[in-house]
Chain A
Amino acid sequence: MATTIEIPVTLSKDEILRYSRHLIMPEVGMEGQQKLKAARVLCIGTGGLGSPLALYLAAAGVGTLGLVDFDVVDYTNLQRQIIHSTADVGRKKLDSAADKLKGINPFLNLRTFDTRLSSANALELFRDFDIIADGTDNFPTRYLVNDACVLTGKPNVYGSIFRFEGQASVFATKDGPCYRCLYPEPPPPGLVPSCAEGGVLGILPGLVGVMQATEVIKLILGIGDPLIGRLLLIDALGMKFRELKLRKNPDCPVCGTHPTVTKLIDYNEFCGIRGEEKPVSSGVPEIQVEELKRRLDAKDDVFVLDVREPHEYQICNIGGYLIPLNDLPKRVNELDSSREIVVHCKMGGRSAKAVAFLQQSGFTKVHNLAGGITAWSDRVDPKVPKY
């Protein structure tokens, strides 16, 4: 594991000055700093978690840092992905991150992989690194990173966030549990909202990403008590930290005594996702935003129902009648089933559920607004803000 890293490297005079505050600590010292320089860490993702992770690892003097990302910087990323600047919107995240990291530490050997991590490339990518830091945002990639770490024998420094809550651990060390020991199976799609749907407090990936960076550095230096066999739960709202015991599951399908997963599998299929996830494809009757606009302008009798949350209505609305999706069953009597109803939400997912529910409740003249208020903003009225 990480503590067995050979130390063939020496530090230049400039590096010695740069790492002065490490070198004067006996727990790091020259030997520790050389271990850091010899270490090779692969960060999966340069988003919310990957930003602070990569910044601190580069600053600390980790010699070789790999970054895997295929995404471009988006305006909504800037609230938390602090490695990217406003001027980077539209650039590849790898290019943006590389500029910042080389700016912080020109001694860094940066290796960028402009690709989506997949079952076809993960084992080969992981081979040249000592530690993998998982900063991804979806279940298929989480299971892929875990299994590839177990199969290649590399520790998986894990962090995950949702709204105000985070989890951190170190998985897949030689004797420690892996992510599948904790969660043998992913949730079915749709039951757990993503950050894009549920939101995330901007500081939270900072908190959790820095914890991941701390664990990476401890593994490299071989000091302290790493989060092996422990799941740290972070509640930013209560500012409470709790710790749960994790056990290596002897029946674990990938790291147990009789593993059934001995090579990488199709993780989209494993997570119940077939092909790309589409915002709307539930088979309920739809109406396009242009058609709704035309019918409203023509003063047709169309009742617009908005099933988003009140705080979303405050951001923007198109004058629809607000009943949040979860309240619809108990407030359905507020609706007139003889009228034509068009239901919308942000993207069309929740409103599709609402349409299906209303159909079951006997409504016949009900349509889902395809693409939601976002499509309305894109194609009908750009003054309506997107969020």
Chain B
Amino acid sequence: MSKIHIPTPLRQYVGKQSSVEVGGATVGEAMNALVAQHPDLRKHLYTEDGKLRAFVNLYVNDEDIRYMQKEATALKEGDNISIVPSIAGGAA
């Protein structure tokens, strides 16, 4: 099992949880399991043709999967996946 950390803006789509435990041998499989459990999340993470949105980054532990094997990156038991979307707030 891996733990997927859910950022604040997306917690409303996973029953207000801050993290979700999922199975899967790769990042892609784990993310598929996540959106299968929480279908409302899908459009916030993926485009209509199923690609990860450009303002959403995925990390395994502290590494960006774009510099690993992307969604084919293999997972070990207990790995932490972080979903890190861009946020812009500051002044207003």
Residues of A within 8 A of B (CB): 45-50, 71, 81, 134-139, 142, 159-165, 167, 182-187, 191-196, 198, 200, 205, 231, 233, 235, 237-238, 242-247, 249, 326
Which B-chain residue is minimally distant from A159 (CB atoms)?
Answer: B90
Residues of B within 8 A of A (CB): 7-9, 12, 18, 40, 44, 53-55, 57, 59, 62-64, 66-67, 82, 84-92
Whether the pair A247, B64 counts as a contact (CB closer than 8 A) is yes
Contacts of B85 in A (CB 8 A): 187, 192
Whether the pair B90, A48 counts as a contact (CB closer than 8 A) is yes
Contacts of B57 in A (CB 8 A): 182-183
Docked Cα-Cα span, A242 to B18, in Å, equals: 14
**Least distance between B8 CB and chain A CB atoms (Å):** 5
Known contacts A244-B62, A245-B63, A194 near B88 by CB under 8 Å:
yes
Residue among B55, B63, B88 with the most chain A CB within 10 A? B88
Whether the pair B84, A326 counts as a contact (CB closer than 8 A) is no
Whether the pair A47, B53 counts as a contact (CB closer than 8 A) is no
**Least distance between B55 CB and chain A CB atoms (Å):** 4
Contacts of A138 in B (CB 8 A): 88, 92
Whether the pair B89, A137 counts as a contact (CB closer than 8 A) is yes
Docked Cα-Cα span, A50 to B12, in Å, equals: 29
Contacts of A183 in B (CB 8 A): 54-55, 57, 86
**Least distance between B79 CB and chain A CB atoms (Å):** 14
Docked Cα-Cα span, A355 to B45, in Å, equals: 25
Whether the pair A191, B44 counts as a contact (CB closer than 8 A) is yes
Whether the pair A45, B90 counts as a contact (CB closer than 8 A) is yes
Docked Cα-Cα span, A132 to B61, in Å, equals: 30
Docked Cα-Cα span, A138 to B53, in Å, equals: 19
Contacts of A159 in B (CB 8 A): 90
Query: When the two chains form the complex, which single residue of A71, A135, A182 contacts B90, counting CB atoms closer than 8 Å?
Result: A135
Whether the pair A47, B91 counts as a contact (CB closer than 8 A) is yes
Whether the pair B90, A187 counts as a contact (CB closer than 8 A) is no
| Pairs A-B, 8 closest by C-beta atoms | A47-B91, A185-B54, A195-B89, A137-B91, A45-B91, A137-B92, A162-B87, A187-B55
Contacts of B44 in A (CB 8 A): 191
Docked Cα-Cα span, A85 to B86, in Å, equals: 31
Docked Cα-Cα span, A237 to B87, in Å, equals: 17
**Least distance between B75 CB and chain A CB atoms (Å):** 17
Whether the pair B8, A162 counts as a contact (CB closer than 8 A) is yes
Residue among B67, B82, B87, B89 with the most chain A CB within 10 A? B89
Which B-chain residue is minimally distant from A243 (CB atoms)?
Answer: B62
Whether the pair B91, A192 counts as a contact (CB closer than 8 A) is no
**Least distance between A82 CB and chain B CB atoms (Å):** 13
Contacts of B90 in A (CB 8 A): 45, 47-50, 134-137, 159-161, 195, 205
Contacts of B87 in A (CB 8 A): 160-162, 165, 167, 192
**Least distance between A183 CB and chain B CB atoms (Å):** 4
Whether the pair B88, A193 counts as a contact (CB closer than 8 A) is no
Contacts of B62 in A (CB 8 A): 242-245
Contacts of B53 in A (CB 8 A): 187
Known contacts A163-B9, A183-B55, A185-B55, A194 near B82 by CB under 8 Å:
no
Docked Cα-Cα span, A160 to B88, in Å, equals: 6
Contacts of B84 in A (CB 8 A): 167, 231, 233, 244
**Least distance between A75 CB and chain B CB atoms (Å):** 13
Whether the pair B8, A47 counts as a contact (CB closer than 8 A) is no
**Least distance between A243 CB and chain B CB atoms (Å):** 6
Query: When the two chains form the complex, which single residue of B9, B18, B67 contacts A198, counting CB atoms closer than 8 Å?
Result: B9
**Least distance between B57 CB and chain A CB atoms (Å):** 7
Docked Cα-Cα span, A136 to B63, in Å, equals: 27
Docked Cα-Cα span, A46 to B12, in Å, equals: 31
Whether the pair B88, A139 counts as a contact (CB closer than 8 A) is yes
Which B-chain residue is minimally distant from A76 (CB atoms)?
Answer: B92
Whether the pair A137, B88 counts as a contact (CB closer than 8 A) is yes
Docked Cα-Cα span, A183 to B90, in Å, equals: 17
Query: When the two chains form the complex, which single residue of B63, B64, B88 contacts A142, counting CB atoms closer than 8 Å?
Result: B88
Contacts of A135 in B (CB 8 A): 90-91
Docked Cα-Cα span, A205 to B88, in Å, equals: 12
Contacts of A81 in B (CB 8 A): 91
Query: When the two chains form the complex, which single residue of A164, A165, A246 contacts B64, counting CB atoms closer than 8 Å?
Result: A246
